[in-house]
Amino acid sequence: MFYKIVCSLWLCLAVLTCSIDSSSSSSSSSFNNLAGYEGYTKYTVQHGDESAFQYMVDLQTNDTEVDFWLLTRNMSVLTVGPKRKPQLESRLLELDVQYQTQPLMDLMASLEGNSTYAEEDEYEECQPGDCESDRPHSRKRRQARSFFSRFPRYHEILNFMSNLAARYPLYCRYESLGRSSEGRHIAALSISLNQRVRPRRVAYIQAATHGREWITTQTVLYLAYELLTNLRAFQRVLNDVEVFLVPLVNPDGYEYTHTTDRFWRKNRHRYAGLSCTGVDINRNFGNHWNYQGASQNHCSEVYSGTSPNSEPETAAVVRYLEFNRHRVKLSLDVHSFGKFIFYPYGYARNTVPPTVATLRSVALRAANQIGRYRGTRYTVGTSASILYEASGSLDDFAYGSLGIPLSYTLELPGEEFHVSPFDIIHVCKETFAGFIEFIRHVSLY
């Protein structure tokens, strides 16, 4: 039911030029993707009581002029435009909560100043005659460091994926789950030790459900790269397990954050006669759809769509998971930011899954492995208990509707949705350790 995207010769020949051109544009110091944010303010709000927390939840769901970057039970990070600012501050004063402010453009200028890209760090893709398995290991490592020191564009990501499949044809398959709202491929990589024999178990991992969460895609691409370049080391992990990766579930939103709006969250579904665009894919899955933490306001950041699984991106994921529901044992949805590992259920705070002990134990093991790299600490629990009730997420759908036994949402580091170029590789490496721990447990089912 899925068709294979062929890696043709001209792609291999053109990749280096394309990568240099697009990476130059992505590393530009201009603020083309921040047009319209002049006068916006970032708020970090500390809210200790339930009334302030509920006010924040209502704001996120109903106020289309407020954009939440993070919302937990005791702290929120949000951005507000100049017209809405006096009203917000007045209400925060009434609630007697503490908050700090920072002009958004000042913040972004500061982050940009720490985000210089050296020309020698450009990724050198494989050329004809240069993809042999006996290529010097140090050169491959040098190329990987270069690619994982910046945030590539959509076509670079597809080139990277197709070239991995071309380089390791016995172990890697490149395919498309379907097309996005704007017609881009939702590309996937299938990694297994023997493509001639279909493994019984599948570990499914996806990223970039929200366009602005750039670091998520890089961690999943890094997982693919490390597995394929170290197959001997991970033979035991991959034994009887197929790792199925979708690094860019929302390619339209991802591209839009590079060209127009750095903080765009939703997909790019356009509705005739309406000025607002997009659906929050993470509220569109068909488990308790639009029940909590979602909105039917087209302009809301958490707009859940016209119906469950209504979006082409959601539908593509659902088709794959439903078709393989008896083989998929792990579903992992990678987001940013916050350093959390969530397991079901997220739609209601007091709803506990029957296998909560196993879900929590595996999550804690993964968090421990992540922390061993450089001490990064993750909080483990349900999103409803740590953050707020939100329905229509992949983890609830995979576990509650399809019976996939291991289902999680991973929230990576990266405050302000920003990871410095020199830190991308470190986030990738520590997250890789967590990925491997999750995949290890697939063999138990």
By annotation, the residues acting in catalysis are: 411
Strands 41-46 and 66-71: unpaired
d(CA 182, CA 163): 24
Helix H or strand E encompassing 104: helix 104-113
Residue 258 in contact with residue 155, Cβ under 8 Å?
no
Angle ∠(193,196,198) on CA atoms, nearest 5: 75
Angle ∠(298,390,89) on CA atoms, nearest 5: 70
d(CA 163, CA 177): 18
d(CA 76, CA 57): 10
Give the type of residue at 245.
Answer: L
Q: Which of 412, 392, 398 is CA-nearest to residue 355?
A: 398
d(CA 76, CA 56): 8
Longest dimension (CA), the chain: 68
d(CA 288, CA 29): 43
Angle ∠(180,301,380) on CA atoms, nearest 5: 90
